[in-house]
């Protein structure tokens, strides 16, 4: 646990998401290896990328590299930007019916002419390793078994590494998207936290944030959360990834919290980059192994017991 924490040079310790991602990748590798022996084939993840979005291309390249390194099979489908709705849905259907595929991920965003909700809903919930279908979201609300969204699962795991048992902590999540904010709120609730879900209409957001033992900004506004929004001794798990002009006009990445101020006030802070970001793919690999086990009627691999939320 201690290996994830780094000195920030100020009050807070940094929670190293890159090291965290490696730990979870390693657990996925152990799970994949056990499943390969048991099932006679490695868990398989199919990634569908439509179009040429540069950020998505980089992300998919990383996914493929880490999937293979963890001993899972990676199948990639790269489709032209003008792929029709019918062709994309037909591919998803084909992947749903392919028994050798355990996880399906359609990289978002999709080109404008395609309806992301329709395409995501077409994915077999048993293979929904992004945890974004209505069935997966419903299972999360009910506390029923299912696949949970990757980035919020990564946030919970990092918070547990820093703080241990989260029972009774007050959590403020800023942002209510289906991808991050809402599932994050539900996952922290499942950890027995007392959760506030804030958004653009929340009144006096700084005062709301100042109540949080654990603050999760997931907004997409560079350095919106200032030091005086943070309760002394709190933990900040910063989901935001924002590209801004740095020194000499060189682009640099910052989070939704102002890191230099947060580390003066909080006890634990995830940096951007190198915080929540690297956890997303790691949780995807863990989910794919969990999906492979569940589809084969096996219990969740032992190696994932401490990784995935219940």
Catalytic residues: 63, 107, 130
CB nearer to ligand NDP: give 101 or 195.
Answer: 195
23/29 Cα distance (integer angstroms): 10
What phi and psi, each to the nearest 5 degrees, are found at residue 15?
-95, 115
35/23 Cα distance (integer angstroms): 18
Among 175, 183, 274, 301, contact with ligand NDP (rule: CB under 6 A) = 175
179 binds ligand NDP (CB under 6 A): yes
What sections of 79-180 are H helices per DSSP? Answer: 85-97, 116-121, 134-142, 150-163
Q: Which stretch binds ligand NDP (CB under 6 A): 103-111, 208-216, 240-248, 297-305?
A: 240-248
282/25 Cα distance (integer angstroms): 5
Q: How many residues in the shown chain lie near ligand NDP by CB under 6 A? A: 25
Percent helix, strand and coil across the chain, each to the nearest 5: 45, 15, 40
- Smallest gap from Cβ 120 to ligand NDP, in A, equals 14
200 binds ligand NDP (CB under 6 A): yes
- Smallest gap from Cβ 178 to ligand NDP, in A, equals 8
Instruction: Tokens for 242, please give them.
Output: 């924002």
Residue list 251-290, contact with ligand NDP (CB under 6 A): 276-277, 280
- Smallest gap from Cβ 84 to ligand NDP, in A, equals 26
* Local structure of 275: helix, strand or coil: coil
CB nearer to ligand NDP: give 101 or 128.
Answer: 128
Q: Which stretch binds ligand NDP (CB under 6 A): 102-110, 117-125, 161-169, 195-203?
A: 195-203
Q: Residues 114-150, buried b or exposed e (16+ Cβ, 10 A)?
A: beeeebbebbbbbbbbbbbbebbbebbeeeeebbbbb
129 binds ligand NDP (CB under 6 A): no
Site string for ligand NDP, 71-110 (x = CB under 6 A): ----------------------------------------
Site string for ligand NDP, 136-165 (x = CB under 6 A): ---------------x--------------
Q: Are 64 and 72 in contact (CB under 8 A)?
A: no
- Smallest gap from Cβ 38 to ligand NDP, in A, equals 31
Q: Which stretch binds ligand NDP (CB under 6 A): 88-96, 113-121, 219-227, 293-301?
A: 219-227
Q: Are 129 and 291 in contact (CB under 8 A)?
A: yes
| Helix (DSSP H) and strand (DSSP E) numbers for the chain | 10, 12
Among 106, 239, 291, 308, contact with ligand NDP (rule: CB under 6 A) = 239
172 binds ligand NDP (CB under 6 A): no
Nearest to 292 by CA among 143, 76, 24, 104: 104
Instruction: Tokens for 17, please give them.
Output: 């998401």
15/11 Cα distance (integer angstroms): 13
199 binds ligand NDP (CB under 6 A): yes
Residues that bind ligand NDP (CB under 6 A): 151, 174-177, 179-181, 198-202, 205, 218-221, 239-242, 276-277, 280
């Amino acid at each position: 646990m201690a290996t994830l924490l780094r000195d920030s040079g100020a009050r807070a310790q940094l929670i190293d998401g890159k090291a965290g991602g490696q730990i979870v990748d390693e657990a996925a590798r152990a799970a994949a290896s056990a499943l390969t022996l048991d099932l006679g084939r490695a868990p398989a993840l199919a990634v569908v990328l439509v179009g040429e979005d540069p950020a998505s291309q980089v992300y998919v390249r990383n996914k493929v590299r880490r999937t293979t390194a963890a001993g899972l099979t990676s199948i990639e489908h790269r489709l032209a930007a003008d792929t029709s709705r019918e062709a994309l849905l037909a591919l998803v259907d084909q992947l749903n019916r392919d028994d050798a595929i355990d996880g399906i991920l359609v990289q978002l965003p999709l080109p404008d002419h395609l309806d992301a909700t329709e395409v995501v809903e077409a994915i077999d919930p048993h293979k929904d390793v992004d945890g974004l279908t209505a069935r997966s979201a419903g299972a999360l609300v009910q506390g029923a078994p299912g696949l949970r969204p990757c980035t919020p699962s990564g946030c919970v795991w990092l918070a547990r590494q820093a703080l241990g048992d989260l029972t009774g902590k007050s959590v403020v999540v800023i942002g209510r998207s289906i991808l991050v904010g809402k599932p994050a709120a539900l996952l922290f609730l499942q950890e027995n936290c007392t959760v506030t879900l804030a958004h653009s209409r929340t009144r006096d957001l700084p005062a709301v944030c100042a109540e949080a033992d654990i603050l999760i900004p997931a907004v997409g506004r560079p350095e919106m959360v200032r030091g005086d929004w943070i309760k002394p001794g709190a933990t900040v798990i910063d989901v935001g990834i924002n590209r801004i002009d740095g020194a000499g006009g060189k682009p640099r990445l910052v989070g939704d919290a102002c890191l230099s101020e947060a580390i003066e006030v909080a006890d634990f802070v995830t940096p951007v980059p190198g915080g929540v970001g690297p956890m997303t793919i790691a949780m995807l690999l863990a989910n794919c192994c969990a999906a492979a086990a569940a589809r084969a009627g096996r219990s969740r691999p032992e190696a994932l017991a401490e990784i995935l939320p219940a």
